Amino acid sequence: MRTALVVTLLGLSGASVLADDGAAVEVQLRDGLATPTHFHVSGRVLRLDRRALVREKLTRMLGQPGRMLDAMDTDDAESIHVRIAVDGTTYSATTDDDGTFDLDVEGLRTALPVGVLPIKVTLASPGVVLQRGGEGVLHVFAERGVLVVSDVDDTIVQTFVTEKRRAVKQVLTKGEDTLDAVPGAPAAYQHARAAGAAGFVYLSGSPQNLYPRVHGYLAHLQIPAGPLLLKNVGGDELLVQRAYKTQRLVWLLTMFPRLGLLLVGDDGEKDPEIYTELQRRFPARRIGIVIRNTTGAAVTSPRFAGLMVVPDYTADPMVLASQVQILSTQ
Q: Name the pLDDT band for 50 (thresholds 50, 70, 90).
A: low
Instruction: Give the mean pLDDT of 118-134.
Output: 93
pLDDT of residue 210 exceeding 80: yes
Give the pLDDT confidence score for residue 19 in this predicted structure. Answer: 37
Cβ atoms < 10 Å from Cβ of 60: 11
Q: Residue 210 gets which letter from DSSP?
A: G
pLDDT band at 156 (very low <50, low <70, confident <90, very high): very high
Domains 14-140 and 145-328 share a fold: no
d(CA 139, CA 227): 7
pLDDT of the residue at 107: 96
The whole-number average pLDDT for the span 81-100 is 95
Look up the CATH superfamily of 145-328: HAD superfamily/HAD-like (3.40.50.1000)
Q: How many residues does the chain have?
A: 330
Residues 254 and 236: their CA atoms lie apart, in Å, by: 20
Instruction: State how far the alpha carbon of 175 is from the alpha carbons of 61, 169, 245, in Å.
Output: 15, 11, 25
Residue range 53-81, pLDDT digits in tens = 555 665 565 454 445 444 454 678 999 99
Q: What is the DSSP string of 245-272?
A: HHHHHHHHHHHSTTEEEEEEEETTTTHH
CATH topology for 14-140 is Immunoglobulin-like (2.60.40)
Domain ranges in the chain are 14-140, 145-328
Q: Which residue(s) pair with 35 in the sheet?
A: 38
- Give the global pTM: 0.83
